[in-house]
Amino acid sequence: MARELVAVAVRFVREYVRASDLAVAAAALFACSAVRSRLSAKPGAPMLWPVFGIIPALFAHLDDIYDWGAAALARAGGTFPYRGMWGGGSSGVITSVPANVEHVLKTNFANYPKGPYYRERFAELLGGGIFNADGDAWRAQRRAASAEMHSARFIEFSAGTIAHLVRGKLIPLMEALSESGAAVDLQDVLLRFTFDNICAAAFGVDAGCLAEGLPDVPFARAFERATELSLARFVTPPFLWKAKRLLGVGSERALVEATRAVREFADRTVGERRAELRKTGTLAGRCDLLSRLMSSPPPPDCPEGYSDEFLRDFCISFILAGRDTSSVALAWFFWLLASHPDVESRVLADVVRAGGDALDAGGSSMDYLHAALTESMRLYPPVPADFKEALEDDVLPDGTAVRARQRVIYYTYAMGRDKASWGPDCLEFRPERWLDARGAFAGGTESPYKYAVFNAGPRLCVGKRFAYAQMKAAAAAVLARFRVEVLPGQAEAVKPKLNTTLYMKRGLMVRFAAREQRHEPVPAAGGRAIKRELPKAAIERDGEE
């Protein structure tokens, strides 16, 4: 009976329904659904189209997507729902309300892990590393990271690696560029600097990105490629990238090749360090993160010690977190200084007054520089948005309902530009907002859920202290020696790139002009520094030693 009814229906369609009729009906249904969606949408929120969800709105604003998103959140009262393309499996809410962020990152932390949606997309690159882990696996790595990164030996070691890299490679490179008058992409130079620095801190190896001639480094290239291809999965429908992965074609094949190169490098380094430990019985002479983890007493939940796979994934995650964020933050910082000479003058005066004490990791010196970097990241956060996935149905403090398996995206870029949080001058670059009446840095009094640049709650970035030490050292050393001159005509070119890290779309082309009188940071005992004023010729000789 059922077959006969189907056959009759098919004959009816063939005889009486034309393709044009179906097209008209589909168009009418689409239009009705669109009108219904618009009428039921939250005032000010972006349109959620039938089938395509928020995708058309995103494509319409690709050139200014971050500012558009911030404006949309402001119109919608700080929160609005979103839905991706049909079949993509992505839906939830986007928010910039600090109370909502605190609820997700702290109050109801257990209900908002990274979730399988995130973990699946980074599985090849990060494996079970700390930035791709939840639950007990995350807690174990968090304990290990906190214990080692906050230890006095690692802090001293990391300060030394920063000082060596800044004085031995970064400054000589800029001196050569200054003498030749050549222009260079500052974003690329800073990416190379932070990659070399993070590899030294994590693995105790020199990646060589800042070597003479700025060579192509296979490991760095593979790492960047693997990161980009992993991120592409977030904007590609799952049925598409999973099919490509199954067949081993296109971007998924390229991802496998790139991650293989990254993991082979990490596995080789772990293996060599393990062999050294077996041969000598100690790694006491090494203070990099890998060596410290490998030689530390076994934790209670891992009596046999950390496995090679654990160490590999942990260090790869550490590199991912430290490579892009600090370099991107510094690039936007120098861009802002170029258009705010008054702030640059105060930063330079702060460096001179403090004696160039940039290598005091996490110290209290150079409060104005610290405030200027913090203010720069408020306007241009290295990670413009992040998300968590709900395990169970929930209601956010502003009354927004979240269903199980939906995502809550907290929009850090919009949070830093919210008038309710930062006042009517929220779009101005004003480091003074972070200082108290005595001129001391007072950022610690601000809620981390209002300024979520370093995440917040239990997942607060364990490398925050390291990041500030690295940025302050590089910024102080460069500014004490050079004026960073942004090439004209880049106002339109310097825009954020659509990525999980706030890259400049086309980089930042600059020239370095040597200052006539230098105030050079000179490392002293314990990683601290003293001031020394030298003429240009003396600085050049000192840099060659």
- For residues 111 and 392, is the Cβ–Cβ distance under 8 A? yes
Token readout for 433 is 């907002």
Neighbouring residues of 316: CB distance < 8 A, sequence distance ≥ 6 = 125, 126, 127, 129, 262, 263, 266
Q: HEC string of 204-242?
A: CCCCCCCCCCCCCCHHHHHHHHHHHHHHHHHHCCHHHHH
Strand partners, 511: 485
Provide the residue count of the chain.
545
3-state class (DSSP) for residue 521: strand
Q: Which residues are annotated as a binding site?
A: 461
Token readout for 171 is 């400054």
- For residues 473 and 162, is the Cβ–Cβ distance under 8 A? yes
Angular region, 386: left φ>0, alpha ψ -120 to 50, beta rest: beta
Please name which of 252, 264, 227 lies closest in space to residue 131, comparing C-alpha atoms. 227
CA atoms of 183 and 82, how far apart (whole Å): 43
Neighbouring residues of 330: CB distance < 8 A, sequence distance ≥ 6 = 190, 471, 474, 475
Q: Which residues are annotated as a binding site for heme?
A: 461
